[in-house]
Amino acid sequence: IHHDLSPHNHNIPSSAPPIPSTNGPSSIHTTLDDHVVPYKKMVRYRECLKNHAASMGGNATDGCGEFMPSGEEGNIEALNCSACNCHTNFHRKEIEGAPSSWDCYHSPQHINRIG
């Protein structure tokens, strides 16, 4: 094993901010605002959209109404649906607070009015 014992030459520009020391009291003060965890949005997987007849040029879904994980959260089995055995990617994803595709197709501004 070869160890390079020569000193390393690191050039730090004079405009660079000072590097805080990690072996002693820190002069950097933190507040509670620095440690705020962003709000985690709730994600739900709804009906299965997998097209089982795509190879024949048709359209057929299996009718699975909502994703039900096959295993406990954190396990790889939890990514497959116990009802239809499809991966979560085939199920419609619904994010809390985000507009859904239902909202886009059924909003008042997209409905034609006669008059």
Percent of the chain residues topping a pLDDT of 90: 43
Q: Does residue 64 carry a pLDDT above 70? A: yes
- What lies within 8 Å, CB to CB, of 98 at 6+ separation is 41
84 close to 48: Cβ distance less than 8 angstroms: yes
At 18-38, the pLDDT tens digits run 665 556 555 555 555 566 666
